[in-house]
Structure 1
C-alpha cells in the first residue's frame, strides 16, 4: 500500500533554501494561474453584462483556465514540480512523493498566491467582485461534492500518469499540456454545476477577498478526497507493482 511510503519529513525542511525556492515557485505559478483564470471571468462579465454563466462563458472559462494552467505548471515544473493546487500536493503526499512539511509549505504558498492574485484583480479593476465558486440552482451540496471528487480524481490521475510516474519517459514533456487539457475539459463538464474548482486555492482566494464562504467546504473536501483516491489508485496499481510490463506484442 502507498500509505507506508508517506513521509513526514523534518521541521527544518521548511527553512531549507531549496524548499523555500520551491514554495516561491508555487506562489508565483498559482498567482499566474488564478489571476488569468479569475480575471478572464471578470472580464467576460464586464463585456457581456454578467454572461459568464452562458455557454460562451463556460467555453471561455475552460479555455482561459486550461491555457493558464499549462503555463503555470510549465514554469514551475523544474523548481517545485508545478503543483499549483493543494489537492495535487495532497495527492502527491498520499503517494509518498512529497513530505508533509514540504507539502504544508506548498499549501501556504498556493493559498497566498491565490489571495494576492484576487486582491490585485480587485484593485486593478476598480473594486469589481472576485466571484467565488458557487453551486448552481438545483445542485445540492452532495451533488457538488461528488462532482468535485470525480473531476479532481481525473486531474490528479493525469498528473501522476504524465508527471510523477517514474516510467513516464518522453510523455513527461506534454505533462503541462495534458494537465491543462483535463482542467479545461472538466470545466466544460462540471462548470455549469459547481464552477469546477478542483483546486482549494482557487476557491480560497476569491472567498477570502470577497468574504463569501458559502459551501466552501465542498471545494476543499471534494478535491482533497478525489486527489487522495487518485494517489492511492495510481501508486497501488501502476507504480507499486514490481513486475516488468508486458511487451507490446502481448496486447
Structure 2
C-alpha cells in the first residue's frame, strides 16, 4: 500500500544543498507560472473591462496557464521534479516519492513564489489588483469543492501517468505538455464557476496580496483531496508493490 511507503525524512534533509536547490527551483517555477497566468488575466481585464469573465477571457486564461505551466514544469523537472503545485507535491508524498520534510520545503517555496509574482505584478502594473480566486454567483462552497477535487484529480492522475510511473520510459517533453494541457482544459471546464485553481499556491499569492480570503479554504482542501485520491488509485491499481521504485528527484 502507498501509505506504508510514506517517509517523514530527517531534519538534516532541510539543509542539504540538493534540497535547497530543489526548493529554489520550485520558487522560480512558481514565480514564472503565476506571473504569466495571473498577468494574462490582469492584461485582459485592462484591455476589455472585466474581460476575464467573458468566453474570450476564459480561453485566454486557459491558454496562458497551459503554456506557462508547460514551461514552469519543464524548467524545474531536472532539479526539483517540476511540481509547481502543493497538491502535486502532496500526491507524490502520499505515493512515497518524496519525504514530508522535503514536501514542506516545496510548499513554502511554492507559496513564496506565488506571493512574489503577485507583488511584482502589482508593482509593474502601477498598482492594479491581483484578483483572488472567488466563487461565481450561484456556486456554493460545496459545488466549488467538488470542482476542485475532480479537476485536481485529473491533474495529479496525469502527473502520475506521464511523470511518476516507473514504466513511463523516455517520453521527453510529453509530461510537461500533458500537464499543461489538462490544466488548460480544466480552466475551460471550471473557470466560470470557481476560477479553476487546482493549485493552493496559485490561490494563496493573490489572496495574500489583495488580502481577500472568502472561501479560501476550498482552494486548499479540494486540491489536496483530489491529489490524494489520484495518488492512491494510481499507486494501488496501476503501479502496485511489484512495479514501485523510489524515484530520484531528477525523474520527478
Aligned partner of residue 171 in structure 1, secondary structure? coil
CA contact (8 A) 1:8 1:99 kept: yes
Q: CA separation of 1:172/1:75 partners in 2, compared to 1, >3 Å: closer, same or farther?
A: same
What residue ranges of structure 1 are gaps of 5+ in the alignment?
A: 244-251
The 5-angstrom pairing of residues 157-236 of structure 1 reads 157-236=157-236
The 5-angstrom pairing of residues 1-251 of structure 1 reads 1-242=1-242
Deviations 1:23-60 (CA, angstroms, capped at 9, x unpaired): 00000000000000000000000000111110000000
The aligned counterpart of 1:248 is: none
Alignment RMSD, CA only? 0.8
Deviations 1:198-247 (CA, angstroms, capped at 9, x unpaired): 0000000000000000000000000000001111111111111538xxxx
CA contact (8 A) 2:22 2:80 kept: yes
* Structure-1 separation of matches of 2:110 and 2:173: 24
How far did residue 172 of structure 1 move?
4.8
CA contact (8 A) 1:73 1:83 kept: yes
* Structure-2 separation of matches of 1:150 and 1:171: 26
Give TM-score, length-normalised by structure 2.
0.95
Count of aligned positions? 243
CA contact (8 A) 1:141 1:215 kept: yes
CA contact (8 A) 1:39 1:121 kept: yes
* Structure-1 separation of matches of 2:151 and 2:113: 22
* Structure-2 separation of matches of 1:123 and 1:73: 26
CA contact (8 A) 1:29 1:84 kept: yes
* Structure-1 separation of matches of 2:177 and 2:186: 14
What residue ranges of structure 2 are gaps of 5+ in the alignment?
A: 244-252
CA contact (8 A) 1:162 1:172 kept: no
Give TM-score, length-normalised by structure 1.
0.96
Deviations 1:172-208 (CA, angstroms, capped at 9, x unpaired): 5310000000000000000011100000000000000
Aligned partner of residue 184 in structure 2, secondary structure? helix
How far did residue 171 of structure 1 move?
2.9
* Structure-2 separation of matches of 1:74 and 1:82: 7
CA contact (8 A) 2:151 2:186 kept: yes
CA contact (8 A) 2:135 2:193 kept: yes
* Structure-2 separation of matches of 1:8 and 1:172: 30
